[in-house]
Amino acid sequence: MRTRLLKASYELFTERGYRATTTKEIAARAGVAEPTLFRHFGSKVDVFEAAVLEPLKAYLARWSRSWVDVSGRVGLAEMATQLVEGLYPVIRRDRNLFIELMAARNDPLSDLYPAAVEISGQLRDGLRMVHDAGFAVTDRYGLWGEDMPATIGAVASMVIGAALFDDWAYPAGKRVPGRERMIREMSTLIIDGTTHRSPRSNESKPGNTR
Amino acid sequence: MRTRLLKASYELFTERGYRATTTKEIAARAGVAEPTLFRHFGSKVDVFEAAVLEPLKAYLARWSRSWVDVSGRVGLAEMATQLVEGLYPVIRRDRNLFIELMAARNDPLSDLYPAAVEISGQLRDGLRMVHDAGFAVTDRYGLWGEDMPATIGAVASMVIGAALFDDWAYPAGKRVPGRERMIREMSTLIIDGTTHRSPRSNESKPGNTR
């Protein structure tokens, strides 16, 4: 019963988003009475927590752990791939939910606000590990990690944004490129965009230490 | 009277967002009675249209026009600057509103939905002009514009996302870098990320024509 409710919840929340999904619809899809749903879960946000957030948090925790000691093992190309392939597909799959969470993160009165704070914090914790791994790897390559927080922020914004901004960030009149093309393009931008900085170009930029 | 109402509306909408702002507060800040507000504007969404959307649409229209015939005049570095400096500061300044518009773009029942469709469409029209200029400029440089829609989508996602994702895309425990640092970092990533592609690396990527 619980498993059926979780499956129906996950499907409805990811198809329609949190706000547009009712507990009545979840119960109907799971083939149970609505009071049964409330016996298993206290409220709509509790169903959401169990069906959607727990798996997402578990995924992000595994992704964060994947950066432990990455610095000694991999090169920049592998780092770029691990960043892009680790985030883009999962955020894209649940894009409607992420857009709702982003709005909720900005609205302390939303009942999704605590969830949004938790997920966003977990993402930033993972990106801190990417940041630290990035320092170690650029150091090993003899590259200039000029401004690693800005680099990670820009690159992570690209990966998250590309997964969410179908209606905003793609040229009009062109089909929004699919997953394979976006992953290849973003990996190339990250690798080429971070490996061609010379100490000279660094010194020539005023205010670099800010 | 109308000017005072527009000024008060703009301030409140950009400080607090659309939903959290009431017409009562707008009238109070403008020092007029609420019925006066409704005599000048039919509804809250009409005030929003006049105070926030009209200036934003005018800005985006100017920005779009700035790409006309850019291909013959400028280099890649100037293009990157024009893209980053044209979008990042204005989206960052109104970041709370943009987050609300993105949520509304996904929710046809929202009273901001028509505005979100219009603004997002205008942005994509502008990015189509960037796309076409990008083709002309890479051609002139003898570079490979391997997959221009993906390049523009990735780069625009970075610029928009970096302005919006303070709570999501930056490493934990590090201060979110300010405007100067982000503009410099993103310009570098775009220039280096697009100018180091050789025909050989192009051919070696299977499935490139997809």
pLDDT tens for each residue of A184-197: 999 999 999 988 87
Q: What is the pLDDT of residue B187?
A: 95
The closest CB to that of B171, out of A152, A161, A194, belongs to A152
For the segment B187-199, the average pLDDT, to the nearest whole number, is 84
- Place A144 in a pLDDT band, splitting at 50, 70 and 90: low
Buried b (16+ CB within 10 A) or exposed e, A178-209: eeebbbbbbbbbbbbbbbebeeeeeeeeeeee
Nearest CA in chain B to A96: B106
Q: What is the DSSP string of chain B?
A: -HHHHHHHHHHHHHHH-STT--HHHHHHHHTS-HHHHHHHSSSHHHHHIIIIIHHHHHHHHHHHHTTTTHHHH--HHHHHHHHHHHHHHHHHHTHHHHHHHHHHHT-TTSTTHHHHHHHHHHHHHHHHHHHHHHHHHHHHHT---TTHHHHHHHHHHHHHHHHH-TTTSS-TTSPPP-HHHHHHHHHHHHHHHHH---HHHHHTSTTTT-
Structural domain boundaries of chain B? 66-198
- Statement: residue B199 has pLDDT above 80: no
Q: What is the pLDDT of residue B76?
A: 85
* The two three-digit tokens of residue A188, written as one number: 């190339």
pLDDT tens for each residue of B152-183: 999 999 999 999 999 999 999 999 999 999 99
Other CB atoms within 10 A of residue A37 CB? 24
Closest by alpha carbon to B159, among B114, B97, B95, B100?
B95
Residues 6+ apart with CB under 8 A from B8: B26, B27, B29, B30
CB spacing of B169 vs A160 below 8 angstroms: yes
- Statement: residue A80 has pLDDT above 70: yes
Nearest CA in chain A to B19: A107
Taking the CA of residue A19 as centre, how many other CA atoms within 13 Å lie in the half-sphere pointing to its CB?
18
Chain B residues whose beta carbon lies within 8 Å of the beta carbon of residue A185: 146-147, 150-151, 153-154
The residue of B83, B188, B197, B210 whose CB has the most chain A CBs within 10 angstroms, and thus the best one to mutate to test that interface, is B188
The closest CB to that of A150, out of B106, B161, B181, belongs to B181
Nearest CA in chain A to B197: A192
Nearest CA in chain B to A151: B185
The closest CB to that of B103, out of A103, A188, A207, belongs to A103
Chain B residues whose beta carbon lies within 8 Å of the beta carbon of residue A162: 153-154, 157
State how far the Cα of B121 lies from the Cα of B126, in Å rounded to an integer: 9
Q: What is the pLDDT of residue B209?
A: 39
ipTM confidence score: 0.90
Closest by alpha carbon to A22, among A30, B112, A3?
A30
B133, B64 in Cβ contact below 8 A? no
pLDDT tens for each residue of B29-76: 999 999 999 999 999 999 999 999 999 999 999 999 988 877 667 788
Query: Kindly report the CA angle at A206 between A133 and B197, in degrees rounded to 5?
Result: 55
Which 3 state secondary structure label does DSSP give A30?
helix
**Exposed, middle or buried, B29 (CB in 10 Å: 0-12/13-18/19+)?**
middle
A21, A10 in Cβ contact below 8 A? no
